[in-house]
Structure 1
Amino acid sequence: MAKYLLATALFLIAALNCFAQLSTSIAENYSLQEGLSDRSVSSIIKGKDSLMWIGTSNGLNKFDGYNFTVFNSDPDDSLRLLNSNIQEISQDVNDNLIIIYENTTWMFNIFNPQTYELRKVEVSLSTGVHGLVRDFEVDEAGEMFVLTEGADTTRVYRFDGRDGFELVFSLHQPHPGNQTYQMVLRHLSGGDFLINDSALGLQLINAGGKVEKYFQQRDFGDTTRVDRITYPNRINFLHEDQFGQIWVAWDKVPGIFRLKYGNYRFERKTEFDQTRYYSAIYEDDPGNLLVLQSQPGGIHPETLNVFAFTPNAQIFDFSHVLDDNRIVTCIFSEDFFKTIFLGTDDGFRVVRNNRFRIKTYLTQDSEIASENVIIKGITGDDNGYVYLAAESDHWYKLDLSNDLLDTLTFWNTRTGKPLELNGGINLLKDADGFIWGAAHESRGGSRLYKYDPEQCTVEAFDFPYPITSFTIADNGQFWLGCSPSESDGIILTFDPNTGTHEEFYLADGSNPLPTSAPQFIFQSSSGSIWVGTTNDGVYTFDTQGEHFTHYFTDAENTRYRISHNSCLVIYEDEIGKIYLGTQNGLNIIDTRNQHLKVLRRRDGLSNNTVTGILPDGSGHFWISTNNGISFYDPGDDSFKTFFQADGFSANAFNPFAFYQDENGRFYFGSVNGLNVFMPKDLLLDEPKPTVLLTKIERYRSTDDSLMIMESNLHKVHQLVIEPYDTYFALHFTFPEFSRPKKNQYRMKWEGSDKWTLYNDPIIPFHKFPAGSYTLLVEGADANGNWSAKPFVLPIKVKKPFYKQTWVQILLLLAIFSIIYGIFQSRMRQRLKMEQLRTKLASDLHDEVSGLLSGIAMQSDLVQFMVTDSKVQNRLKTIGEVSRKAMSKMSDVIWSIDSRKDRLEDLVGRMHEHADEMLLPLNIRYDIQISHKLDRAQKIPANIRQDLYFIYKEAVNNIAKHSNANRVFINMRQQGNFFELRIKDNGSPVEQLATVSSGEVAGQISGAEANQAIPTAALQQNKKKSGQGLSNLRMRAERLKGTLEIKTDNGYSILLRMKKFM
């Protein structure tokens, strides 16, 4: 330990309250390249539509923050103005734009900014105006007046808002001949008028036309003074502010004058330099005045300085809003302390005025980074001083009472040289009020410095390793994170009372940081030590080296899986949550339920690399990053972001360099000096405007056309999208023009809780489904301040013609009609077929059956009449053949008779045939019908016919060839199949030679023709049996079924086919 002297070098901070103040105004410049119609800007206003309107020497420009829409006198322009050289733009009582043109006094235009309707108003005898127009005046209420001058009369007219003018008053005032003079009219808030005539002087005239005051030279000060004014004279400006005070500056006369109504005399405003010339004055909504100090002479002289004069008589130098081009032609602002629009002869610029929100210290305008002062540590002593540690060379002390900044240099009394403070990090105040900081030494070690603010002495403590971070524990002990090399680390404990240190190891004797250097060390309220490392995550353990926990990206347990292994800052809130600032977002660990949450840039954080976490005392946090500072609200996880464009000296902020003093001011050290602010100056509690719809685009595929709608958007209460608008896009703007490209948008559909974020003001929709929707859109400025209320747009997407409900109903009716017609046609055909079948069956029965019956009867009669046995045998054969033919004919007639289509008819026919064939042979039979089969249901004629003939053939075979005395006939539904089974109880039947005894004959279907039939039947009539087998196969195929014949245990047939009922 060694003691050293401290030398202080005092640097007085000048009027700007900083050691080196950066220009704290950020400007966006617009000219021809950006779409402005002309460089020369003559007038700027903000319309009631919240868009900017810029008058130039080549037309009118609408500016939405992104694009310009130009209106001029181009013959090809559908919205053609009467002239392009605009002198001034004003708003009338109906929020229309009044456009006055340069060197054009006989007419003006009235332009509706919402409908784009353009109206020409003549100023002539035809509209009731006499004399030569000398000035147009549009007052604060939007009323327009015209000042004319005749040979010996001065007149004032009021515009009636339509096409005519009415005389307000006239004065008999002859003018000297052959003299060029200026006349200016102002309508005052009380109803009076001021007219300055450079030939006759300034007059105050009441609403009735009576001259209340004719000002003389003595009314402007002591006429014996050297600086007395030239009077009568031209004026540079004549302005009534919102408090009723009259301000005037004369041409080529130094100083500014203000009217005192008590004695109707003008006094010089000594707050302004009365030796300088002033060319223009402007006023914002709060009543602040902005005055241009310029070179004398000229319509738009060079501006030297800009001053703001507040309602409470404070004056501020606003010259920082100027750039190299100092020809200012016009100014507009709603609040000069926020955003200012400056028109010049080279376009216009939007200036974000940040000077009075953020104070910067030790900043440099140099583009050489090595010249910047990099702040690496901040703390305070609660006695009105804040201490800063730079990365190299110095500490600084800031006196909060007067903003004086001292440079602290530590001297070695032995060598007489300043101590090395390179690589300085962190500053902390201990419980005794001493300030502690660390710095590296060129020999490889480091030193911990103890500064005594009262005695102005410094003690230094040497350490063998470079100190990368340190913290002071509750018991006063120091915990130091050191890095012997780039790849490993070690923790030291230091006793400030004895000046001794020890290496710290875990309870098992191991080094807690074997593979990574520490970047931040912190003690939580529970006493645990938390260490953030360069590449190995975060370690936590108690002071005895136990209860070791490791948080890192590849942890198997998600409770310990953080977003990045490099941790730069650690903080614990009042309820015990741990905040880890990593290089990939903010990690929040709820130690009570072991829940871990990560917030990144996509969630609103200004940058993923978090370098500082500072609470504001009300549950919110200020978070510094490598690109801006974020205000974080844990209640809804929302962020507001601030950048260099908001007045900070840089976008990149450093670890350890954050602090809040006893007055509530916040300090953040950057790569270019110190930044100090009060949160209320950044978190402006003011409602933000609603998003504006600026354009609707539709692409219609039917004719390949793009339709654009920019006017009459206020009438779009519901956006109707036609079926063939395959693409449409909505263009929006958020009317905050200081940094429009940084504005943000979000949209959602009504009824949904999920917002979709957009950085682009265009929201496209492609092939959007038909239906009715309600779109909600909100906007935010570059800092993340969202609209007070959303923009709401109902959208109806129509269905194509063929998808309309009534069309679909008609289509369904047409389809139903067609189907019904086809059904009716088929029913008629079916009915005809059934009628034909019935007629055919009847005819066959009546004619053919009767004929066959007659043949059989005749043959029987003749048989008894003849005696020749041969003839009798032939007649007997004729009778038998006729009866067989009648039987066959009966089957045919039954099969085609539509009156026999029910299952009950089939069963009855089967009974008849079984009675005829089996009962005479004393063969009993049993027909069983499954209950699943509806006897009353009709069967298709072809199925009924084939089923019956298969049955008949089987019964015939049993009757002729079986030795059975019992036959079982069964019809049933089995799953999706219908089965007809016929089986007798006879003995095995001899098979064909090609089939062995007992072998299943197979399935009769398809091409399987070689099936077994009883040998007896074959021997009896081979030809007939072959024909019967073919018929069985043919009928089975027609039914798309299978036929199985077995002869090993009597005679059985199984027909299996898909169910048909």
Structure 2
Amino acid sequence: MERFSFILAVMVLVLGSVAEAQVLPFRTYSIEKGLSESVVNGMMQDHEGYLWIATSYGLNRFDGIQFKNYYREDGLHDNKVTALFEDRDNQLWIGTESGVNLIKADSIHKPSALQALNVSTILDIYQDQLDEFWFATDGEGVWYWDGRQNVTQYREVNGLADDRVRAIVEDEQGILWFATRDGLTKLEEGNFRTYTEEDGLPDNRLRDLALTSDGELWIASRGGLCRLEDEGFRCYSEDDGLVNNRIQSISVTEADELWLGTEEGSSFFSEGTFTNYSVEEGLVNNIIQTTVYDREGNIWFGTLGGGISLFLGNQFKSYTVEEGLPNNVVTSITEDRTGNHWVATYGGGIVRIDSAGVFTTFTRADGLVDNKVYTLKSSRENELFIGTRWGLSIYDGREFRNFDEHILPYRKIRALHPLEQQEDTWWLGTYGEGILKYDGRRFQQMTEDDGLANNTVMAVEDDDDGSVWFATYGGVSRLRNGQITNYGIQDGLPNNGVLDILRDKAGNLWFATFGGIAQFQDGRFEPITGDDGLPDEVCYFIEQDDRGIFWIGTNKGLVRFDYEAYSSGQQSEEVQAFKLITQDQGLAANEMNAGASFKDSDGNLWFGSVGGVTQFDPSSEKVNRAAPKVHIEGISVSGEEIGMGSDLQVGSNNHNITFNFIGISFTAPDQVKYRYRLRNSGEGWQTTTQRSVRYPALVPGDYTFEVMAQNNDGRWSTQRASVDFTVLAPFWLRWWFILLVLFAIGGLIAFIYNYYRVKKMVDIERMRVRIASDLHDDVGSALTEIALQSDFLQTMDVADPLQDSIQQIGSQSRKIVSSLDDIVWSIDARNDTLGDLTDRMQDHVNSVLPSLQVTYRFDGDMEEKIEVSLKENLYLIFKEAINNIAKHSNAEKVQVALSIKGRHFTLNVSDNGTAARNERKSGQGLRNMKMRAKRIDADITFNSSEGFEVQVENRE
């Protein structure tokens, strides 16, 4: 029986009291989030903000949202990656179990000069002040590379303490330090010297080295932490507060504080004091193999089997059922006069957290009227008033005093508020039963019938002027001097559903509603809603810290509200009016509960949510002053990824262009905002929280897409990420197609023109042939007949005067026949070749100058057609020249030369007649020749120095 009582007592002690445990804002990423492997060997943040993680199965690049994995098939020597380093040229070096890789332009290379290292396990990589490289190996000493071709190996036989080297650093004096498995070795002016336990090290097995900004060298060993001091060591161990002596990693903050990764968690070393963190505080795994301090002031832990953890600081501490709460739905928090904190849960009763950090739970089994608790308040007498779903309980530290339905028939007590001006007087807000006034003896009810805005009362607050304010589901009610005044949307409230009331440090009243918050000042409400920048309009509570900053609980998280910055309009990167804090930054949950906020006597704020309770120390508030590094991650066209080269072109048939980008901010990656624009599109800067932008249709042209990123504290990236690209016009709008169409249209016009021109020419030629035939057959025959008739008449006996006339008629008819013959020859299209012209010229010479010696020289294609006008005028000029020779020259020789080549022609007719006779060559004939030369745009010259010469030549 005694043994049973002892066991029962122990069980009660265990179940009733739980030592304080708290969840700090650790954020874990492992295989399920995309990490290639959960055993992490090294980490590094590059100049672009990416976090690189070396695991035992692959290399990972992390941007805060997603991982990109690299393996042997991507170019790695080995899938086990053991070391990472970024050199001064921003090139990433990768140490593997089988050599060294180098990443340049997002491509993995295998340096040919370092093939000797392909059988080495690389544990560390370092670039010294001379830009020369050192590679620490696991069992092969240190390899030195001058950056060109010379590779040298240093081993234990050369002076190293051991061939297994873990880390390398170089101090300001240019001394190289090597952490080995058998001591600390330094290389100074070509000489090695080793420090061991005999020199003061607690253990010869060293794991890591680090230098602070003032040049202090810190050594991580399996026996603790040491600092080099004048050839000696100042060491710290578990006796000094270190979580574990087996230190595996050191990271230095900008304030020269140290983060240490050990085999039993992490220690933060500042001003000689250690603060320890382990799985009990939220760390995913106690075996920490590597650490890195990022540019935002966060510390990352790489663990053995747990992936990586990001620690954002200890400003938030959360408590859930895993840490001792009976239920995660926290509805109210308060503090009693002795410094104990009380937490109300909906379904688990209440919890007391005493100054020693012990959790004690009280439920119906302990006398509480109901486990579903709405609200808590501590009285001046240090009694705890508890409003529940089934009535009111008062706890005096020993027992509960409950009010049954006979005393208190109004069961759902939603709000509790003691009046400051009236001792022992309480106002109780109920859910659906109005407001109750309790003076320690009896309850007095006030409902809608008495003027209350609504019977559901969520909060109560009194004012300096004696007014009492009630937050109801129908607006705000104010009781003053026995009179109730109601306020609603019409008076400036953003919503009639009012959930909380706060009287701030200046005495102003604030109201949290389903539609935002509002301040009541000088008789009016000033609403602040989503249109004013409030991240969420469903506001469950509003609290103010000692600095004057307001904290608003919403469905999306906790909103930090700087009213001074808001009201003055002086928001900047340094001062943000609104800032959203979520579960990623350390809250127990994003969804808060109505009225579940409290400021304790130390100035700490407590926030209740559906996932537990969070304690916040405003004095430790962390501001992220590092602007995000922004990158354009990829471009897809019609759903297909395209390369991002320098000459980026998008086809005209691709109407959906999507730009994917990322602003790297690990503190709050989901709260990064972006500002983007597409230059040459006519749009200005746009703002979005999405990480991609799609343009459904762009007109052809040259564009530049630009994007900037803003972190959760309002810092905008100093540089823009941009990409130039060209949207090609459809083929029917491109220059070559337009030119082709113009050529085609021109060709068609030319074809049509030539077709009709040729057709017209053919018609003209046919008409010429017909006219020539008609003239020859009809007119010529008629004239010939006239000439024959005149000859016949002359044989008859006719009077002399008539005889002369008949003779003239015959002569004139024959002359007309001759002229008509020339005209018919010119008109007839069958005589349009050069050969036809020369034949005609020879026929004329033979008929006119039968007795003279005539020399001909014709140059040109005899089958080539010549223009009718040219043929006619050349022939008539020639004929006139021959006729002049026949009439006026005593020449014996005549030379005729005709040359027609293309558009160029020359006609030359000369004789050897005497000057005396040539003087007669003038008059109407020469004028006719000049006139005809002008018609064919030719020059005509007459030369009478030796005989007489006529030369016709065109001007081209």
**TM-score range with shorter-chain normalisation?**
0.5 to 0.7
CA 311–720 in structure 1, closer or farther in 2 if over 3 Å, else same: farther
CA 752–519 in structure 1, closer or farther in 2 if over 3 Å, else same: farther
1:531 is paired with a residue whose SS is strand
Cα contact 2:19–2:359 (8 A) shared by 1: no
Counterpart check, 1:439 vs 2:378? no
Higher relative contact order (CA 8 A, sep 6+): 1
Counterpart check, 1:696 vs 2:635? yes
Q: CA offset at residue 612 of structure 1?
A: 1.3
2-side partners of 1:216 and 1:268: how far apart? 16
2-side partners of 1:335 and 1:469: how far apart? 45
1:365 is paired with a residue whose SS is helix
Counterpart check, 1:94 vs 2:89? yes
2-side partners of 1:133 and 1:629: how far apart? 48
CA 683–60 in structure 1, closer or farther in 2 if over 3 Å, else same: closer
2:198 is paired with a residue whose SS is helix
2:111 is paired with a residue whose SS is strand
1-side partners of 2:684 and 2:661: how far apart? 21
Amino acid at match of 2:561: Y
Q: CA offset at residue 623 of structure 1?
A: 0.8
Cα contact 2:606–2:613 (8 A) shared by 1: yes
Task: Name the counterpart of 2:300.
Answer: 340
Q: 5 Å matches for 1:105-504?
A: 108-112=100-104, 114=105, 116=107, 118=109, 120-123=111-114, 137-139=125-127, 143-146=131-134, 158-161=144-147, 163-165=148-150, 173=158, 182=164, 186-189=168-171, 190-194=173-177, 203-206=185-188, 208-211=189-192, 213-215=193-195, 218-220=198-200, 235-237=206-208, 240=211, 243-248=214-219, 255-256=223-224, 258=226, 260-264=228-232, 269=237, 271=239, 278=246, 280-286=248-254, 287-293=256-262, 303=263, 305-320=264-279, 328-334=288-294, 338-344=298-304, 348-354=307-313, 356-360=314-318, 363-365=320-322, 370-371=326-327, 374=330, 376-378=332-334, 385=339, 388=342, 390=344, 396=352, 420=369, 426=375, 438-439=385-386, 446=392, 463-466=408-411, 467-472=413-418, 475-476=421-422, 480-483=427-430, 488-494=432-438, 502-504=444-446
CA 647–812 in structure 1, closer or farther in 2 if over 3 Å, else same: same
1-side partners of 2:38 and 2:185: how far apart? 37
Cα contact 2:460–2:501 (8 A) shared by 1: yes
Q: CA offset at residue 96 of structure 1?
A: 0.5
RMSD: 5.6
1-side partners of 2:211 and 2:223: how far apart? 17
2-side partners of 1:174 and 1:264: how far apart? 20
Cα contact 2:78–2:98 (8 A) shared by 1: no
Cα contact 1:137–1:187 (8 A) shared by 2: no
Task: Name the counterpart of 2:62.
Answer: 63
CA 794–618 in structure 1, closer or farther in 2 if over 3 Å, else same: farther
2-side partners of 1:175 and 1:797: how far apart? 59
2:410 is paired with a residue whose SS is coil
Cα contact 1:307–1:319 (8 A) shared by 2: yes
Task: Name the counterpart of 1:767.
Answer: 697
Q: 2:665 aligns with which of 736, 742, 745?
A: 736
Q: CA offset at residue 193 of structure 1?
A: 2.9
Amino acid at match of 2:560: F
Q: CA offset at residue 546 of structure 1?
A: 5.0
Q: CA offset at residue 145 of structure 1?
A: 3.5
1-side partners of 2:739 and 2:271: how far apart? 77
Q: CA offset at residue 283 of structure 1?
A: 1.3
2-side partners of 1:83 and 1:471: how far apart? 67
2:620 is paired with a residue whose SS is helix
Deviation string 1:699-723 (CA, Å, 9 cap, x unpaired) is 4xxxxx934336x7xxx7x977564
Cα contact 2:301–2:309 (8 A) shared by 1: yes
Cα contact 1:528–1:540 (8 A) shared by 2: no
TM-score when scaled to structure 1? Answer: 0.55
2-side partners of 1:165 and 1:64: how far apart? 37
1-side partners of 2:20 and 2:121: how far apart? 53
Q: Identity of counterpart residues, as a percentage?
A: 18
Q: CA offset at residue 776 of structure 1?
A: 5.5
1-side partners of 2:592 and 2:48: how far apart? 39
CA 541–54 in structure 1, closer or farther in 2 if over 3 Å, else same: closer
CA 544–165 in structure 1, closer or farther in 2 if over 3 Å, else same: same
1-side partners of 2:123 and 2:383: how far apart? 71
Name stretches of at least 5 consecutive residues in structure 2 with no aligned partner.
1-16, 755-956
Q: 5 Å matches for 1:417-816?
A: 420=369, 426=375, 438-439=385-386, 446=392, 463-466=408-411, 467-472=413-418, 475-476=421-422, 480-483=427-430, 488-494=432-438, 502-504=444-446, 510-513=449-452, 516-523=455-462, 529-534=468-473, 537-544=474-481, 546=483, 548-549=485-486, 551=488, 562-563=494-495, 566-571=497-502, 579-583=510-514, 585-586=516-517, 596-599=527-530, 605=535, 609-616=538-545, 620-625=549-554, 628-634=557-563, 635=566, 639-661=578-600, 663-670=602-609, 674-684=613-623, 686-699=625-638, 706-709=640-643, 723-737=652-666, 740=669, 743=672, 745=674, 747=676, 755-759=686-690, 761-769=691-699, 777-779=707-709, 787-789=716-718, 791=720, 793=722, 798=727, 800=729
Deviation string 1:773-815 (CA, Å, 9 cap, x unpaired) is 765544456x565535573537665462679798999899999
CA 169–192 in structure 1, closer or farther in 2 if over 3 Å, else same: farther
Amino acid at match of 1:365: E
Deviation string 1:1027-1057 (CA, Å, 9 cap, x unpaired) is xxxxxxxxxxxxxxxxxxxxxxxxxxxxxxx
1-side partners of 2:205 and 2:85: how far apart? 23
2-side partners of 1:617 and 1:277: how far apart? 40
Q: CA offset at residue 144 of structure 1?
A: 4.3
CA 786–724 in structure 1, closer or farther in 2 if over 3 Å, else same: farther
2-side partners of 1:595 and 1:753: how far apart? 32
Q: 5 Å matches for 1:38-53?
A: 41-53=40-52
How many residue pairs get aligned? The number is 713
Cα contact 1:644–1:650 (8 A) shared by 2: yes
2-side partners of 1:805 and 1:525: how far apart? 78
2:529 is paired with a residue whose SS is strand
2-side partners of 1:806 and 1:589: how far apart? 68
Cα contact 2:591–2:610 (8 A) shared by 1: yes
Cα contact 2:369–2:392 (8 A) shared by 1: no
TM-score when scaled to structure 2? Answer: 0.61
1-side partners of 2:706 and 2:298: how far apart? 28
1-side partners of 2:543 and 2:402: how far apart? 29
Cα contact 1:521–1:529 (8 A) shared by 2: yes
1-side partners of 2:213 and 2:377: how far apart? 52
Deviation string 1:247-305 (CA, Å, 9 cap, x unpaired) is 5566xxx5136354424467564656899662512214434444444xxxxxxxxx3x0
2-side partners of 1:807 and 1:622: how far apart? 65
2-side partners of 1:719 and 1:646: how far apart? 40
CA 514–148 in structure 1, closer or farther in 2 if over 3 Å, else same: closer
CA 642–34 in structure 1, closer or farther in 2 if over 3 Å, else same: closer
2-side partners of 1:519 and 1:133: how far apart? 65
CA 281–630 in structure 1, closer or farther in 2 if over 3 Å, else same: same
